[in-house]
């Protein structure tokens, strides 16, 4: 039996520190995220597949399932 991925992550903006609880999509990577605090458009850091892997408290569901960092798309 495969464990279900955790879908809730807290994204924290590196520019202003604004944090928001978000539900991650299970069917696609999220490459952009608009910060509600300062309006910055977050993009993944080099080597990460999405904003959740770069700025979230939990890696995206495809990375959780594979157990490694890498492209989930």
pLDDT, one tens digit per residue, over 4-44 is 889 999 999 999 999 999 999 987 789 999 999 999 999 99
Asked, for residue 38, whether it belongs to a domain, the answer is yes
Asked, for residue 70, whether it belongs to a domain, the answer is no
In terms of residue numbers, what domain contains 40?
A: 8-64
Q: Give the model's pLDDT for residue 53.
A: 93
Number of domains into which the chain is organized: 1
Res 69 pLDDT > 70: no
Confidence of residue 67 (pLDDT cuts 50, 70, 90): confident
Q: Give the model's pLDDT for residue 44.
A: 95
Q: Which of 23, 21, 53 is nearest to 36 (CA)?
A: 21
3-state class (DSSP) for residue 29 = coil
pLDDT, one tens digit per residue, over 38-61 is 999 999 999 898 999 999 999 998
């Amino acid at each position: 039996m495969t464990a279900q991925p955790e879908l809730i992550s807290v994204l924290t903006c590196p520019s202003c520190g604004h944090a928001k609880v978000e539900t991650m999509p299970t069917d696609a990577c999220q490459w952009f995220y608009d910060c509600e605090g300062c309006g910055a458009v977050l993009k993944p850091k080099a080597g990460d597949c999405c904003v959740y892997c770069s700025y979230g408290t939990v890696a995206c569901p495809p990375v959780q399932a594979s157990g490694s960092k890498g492209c989930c798309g």
